Structure 1
Amino acid sequence: MVNDTIRKFGFPETLVRDYEYWVLLLRPAQVTLGSLVLATKDDATAFGNLPAGAHAELARISAEVEAALSAAVDYQRINYLMLMMVDPHVHFHIIPRYEGSRTFENLEIWDKGWPGPPDLKSAETMPEEVFHRLRQRIMQFWLLTY
């Protein structure tokens, strides 16, 4: 099932990993390098209304996300933000955090909020071809690890 929130974040072109209850997407506007969106396939607009299986699956997903992003972007901290102010379906913005910047294909992305909250307004849209290569790079870490 694909809801409006999943569509808004560019599915299927942004898909990194498909799970039973969730999809993991590369965030079209990168707050920091490797920013993701984890969105439920359900139509739930409240976290507590998700099926039990969706909650259980989060343990596996968070372990995979943290391992893959650590390898891909060498983050120092990670933020899971469930804001749901604009997009109503349950979803998290996953923001890898680091002091300074990270570079991918000569594109440097700074963590402009470090060490405080992430600066969501500083999100950068990458050239399409670079974005797709970053998506492929992050997907490779799942193939190597899981």
Structure 2
Amino acid sequence: MTKFGYPETLIREYGHWVVLLRPHQTTLGALVLACKDEARAFSDVTAGAFGELQGVVTDIEAGLNAFRPYKKINYLMLMMVDPDVHFHVLPRYDASQEFAETVYPDAGWPAAPDLSSGPTPDAAALTDLAEALKAVWPRPAD
């Protein structure tokens, strides 16, 4: 999680998962969904984490759509460099998006995302983007 800027990039923490703002914004609002379990393979994730995953994904989709309506969403479990179970969550847009005077293209649209494209905002811009997402993120159930 620290590789993805935790705790500074934290959007929401759940019992078994964290949602982080992806430091490199392949598309506007790109996130990392990381499992807090000590799991190095998806099959090693606990039953509790699997059970919680549906609600977390529901929150991700509602939060991102409230922030900026997307056309599609991609969940990529790559785990090539970081072996901990995590997904790169990429909202997909059919046109470039702008936030705080920065343009965020979706270079791969409508095909596979181009993970090397998009800006890497500075710390202040990441903080602003994280705060904008937190402001519209679904509230936890009471």
TM range (shorter): over 0.9
Of 77, 80, 88, the match for 1:82: 77
Deviations 1:22-72 (A, max 9, x none): 111000000000000000111211001111010111100111110110111
Runs (4+) of structure 1 moved beyond 4 Å? 143-146
**Aligned length in residues:** 141
Cα RMSD of the aligned pairs, angstroms, is 1.3
Q: State the match for 1:9 in structure 2.
A: 4
Distance 1:143 1:68 in 2: 6
Q: State the 1:145 CA deviation.
A: 8.1
Paired letter, 1:119: D
> CA-to-partner distance for each residue in 1:74-118, whole Å, 9 max, x for gaps?
111000000101110000000000111111011110000000001
**Alignment match, 2:32:** 37
Matched with 1:104 is 99
**Which secondary structure does the structure 1 equivalent of 2:8 belong to?**
coil
Separation in 2 of the partners of 1:97 and 1:16? 19
Give the conservation status (yes or no) of the 8 Å contact 2:59–2:138: no
Q: Which is richer in helix?
A: 1
Please give the TM-score of this superposition, normalised by the length of structure 2: 0.95
Aligned AA (1:86): V
Are the equivalent residues in 1 in contact too, given 2:106–2:118 (CA < 8 A)?
no
1:115-139 Cα distance to aligned partner (Å, 9 max, x none)? 0001001132112211101100001
- 5+ residue gaps, structure 2, are none
Structure 1 window deviating more from structure 2 (28-37 vs 67-76): it is 67-76
Is 2:48 the counterpart of 1:58?
A: no
Q: How far apart, CA to CA, are the structure 2 residues paired with 1:143 and 1:89? A: 26
Match of 2:120?
125
Task: Using the aligned pairs only, state the percent identity.
Answer: 49
1:136 to 121, 131, 138: 131
SS in 1 for 2:28: coil
